[in-house]
Amino acid sequence: MSKIIPYGRQEITQDDIQAVIETLQSDFLTQGPQIAAFEIAFATYVGSKYAIAVSNGTAALHLAVMALGIQEDEYVICTPITFAASINCVKYCGGQVLFADIDPETYLMDLESVKSVIKNNPDKKIRGIIPVDFAGRVPQLDSFRKFADEQQLWIIEDACHSPGGFFTDQNNQQQTAGNGLFAELSVFSFHPVKHIATGEGGMITTNDENLYQRLLTLRTHGITRNANIFENSVEFAIGNSVSTGEFPLWYMEMQELGYNYRITDFQAALGISQLKRAEQNLSKRRSIAQKYTNSLNSTPGIIHSSGLIEGHAYHLFILEVTDRKGLYDFLRKKGIYAQIHYIPVHLMPYYKKQGWKEGDLPHAENYYSRCISIPMFPSLKEDEIKTVISSIKEFYTN
């Protein structure tokens, strides 16, 4: 069998390796200067005011929900076609989940479905919405924002698939994923299958200074060193009865329950190095999407595909096909490891035990029965793209 072609994989260059080595030889492996440098570079890239780097995308989601707040009897509206972490974050914080269905054209959370969920649940206290930039396509977040403002809901944008992606708003302006204008908080992941790889890693972006400060604290145990907000007295901090003076340098306060969700400096250094190639890699992804679209357009068996969409970041290229299992097995035998994104989260046994069942979200379930993600990553070679295309055609024409 020839070389395996996965659906996604990282690309590590000599520059990336050098950046990690230099940080390993520096004074700081963690809590050092690379983290703030990565945050500034990332905020600049997406166009947000602030960015907080964390240990992974799931931690980013957890802190995002914590910072915006949820009570036991409160609900958040989620989409079922995503990685489970997009929804689990609500449960981590003790909140309840409602699912909206997807738009069968875009595969994204359908705002109309969100509206009916709210209408059909007048007795429930709904606090927020978590739309996902699924596959790299950014939803019309301006419409989501307008609706959320009317309903007094917060928005967490799960942008794990879409760094560098954008949507065009109603004023014909291009709005980059995570730019802080439409969601209170946006969340990214740097897992190796995503656009920027740091091993494990995540980022939260925002334009809200209060949320930014709170997240910095939550990321590190709920501990603050900001003397302006200390709750205990200077006398207590100094440890004797001197009645005036400054807080001593050692003093810090744990004011609420936080976590250790820090990223390391060598991961941040890798992130900075990877980020330099982000635009270039995005255009490689777009060019692969163009080739797939052009070549597979009228192939029998293919019902719908990700297609060529402006602003799409192409984390995934998805086909909706007939005989998905047959195609999957056929590609697998040829060393092409396609993947399925996603099994609807509301039908995972954990969520089924909470009352969700088959038939609840017909568009999502119908999509799941036909979807397959074919290889999509910047270092995918020309001959590999050709192999993927010809193999799919071979399957459907024989």
Ligand X SMILES: *Cc1c(COP(=O)(O)O)cnc(C)c1O
Interface residues toward ligand X, by CB under 6 A: 56-58, 82-83, 85-86, 132, 158, 160-161, 189, 191, 202
Rounded to the nearest whole angstrom, what is the least distance from the CB of residue 58 to ligand X in the complex?
A: 3
Rounded to the nearest whole angstrom, what is the least distance from the CB of residue 61 to ligand X in the complex?
A: 6
Residue type, 305: S
Rounded to the nearest whole angstrom, what is the least distance from the CB of residue 282 to ligand X in the complex?
A: 17
Rounded to the nearest whole angstrom, what is the least distance from the CB of residue 83 to ligand X in the complex?
A: 4
Neighbour-count burial of 120, counting CB atoms closer than 10 A to its CB (0-12 exposed, 13-18 middle, 19+ buried): exposed
Closer to ligand X by CB, 19 or 132: give it.
132
Closer to ligand X by CB, 133 or 320: give it.
133
Rounded to the nearest whole angstrom, what is the least distance from the CB of residue 339 to ligand X in the complex?
A: 12
Question: Looking at beta carbons, which residue is closest to ligand X?
Answer: 57
Beta bridge partners of 203: 53, 188
What is the Cβ-side half-sphere exposure of residue 302, based on CA atoms within 13 angstroms?
25
210-235 as b/e: b if 16+ CB within 10 A: ebbbbbbbbbbbbebeeeeebeeebe
- Tokens 């797939």 -> residue: 292
Q: How many CB atoms lie within 10 A of CB 290?
A: 13
Q: How far is CA 212 from CA 64, 122, 239, 333, in A?
A: 10, 32, 31, 48
Closer to ligand X by CB, 118 or 204: give it.
204
Residue 109's nearest CA partner among 142, 144, 148 is 144
Rounded to the nearest whole angstrom, what is the least distance from the CB of residue 173 to ligand X in the complex?
A: 25
Dihedral sign, Cα of residue 295, residue 300, residue 302, residue 307 = positive
Rounded to the nearest whole angstrom, what is the least distance from the CB of residue 263 to ligand X in the complex?
A: 11
Closer to ligand X by CB, 311 or 391: give it.
311
Q: Is 194 tagged catalytic?
A: yes
Of 115, 194, 325, 381, which is the active-site residue? 194
**Residue 105 token pair:** 């054209």
Closer to ligand X by CB, 10 or 56: give it.
56
Closer to ligand X by CB, 202 or 311: give it.
202
**Residues classed as catalytic:** 194
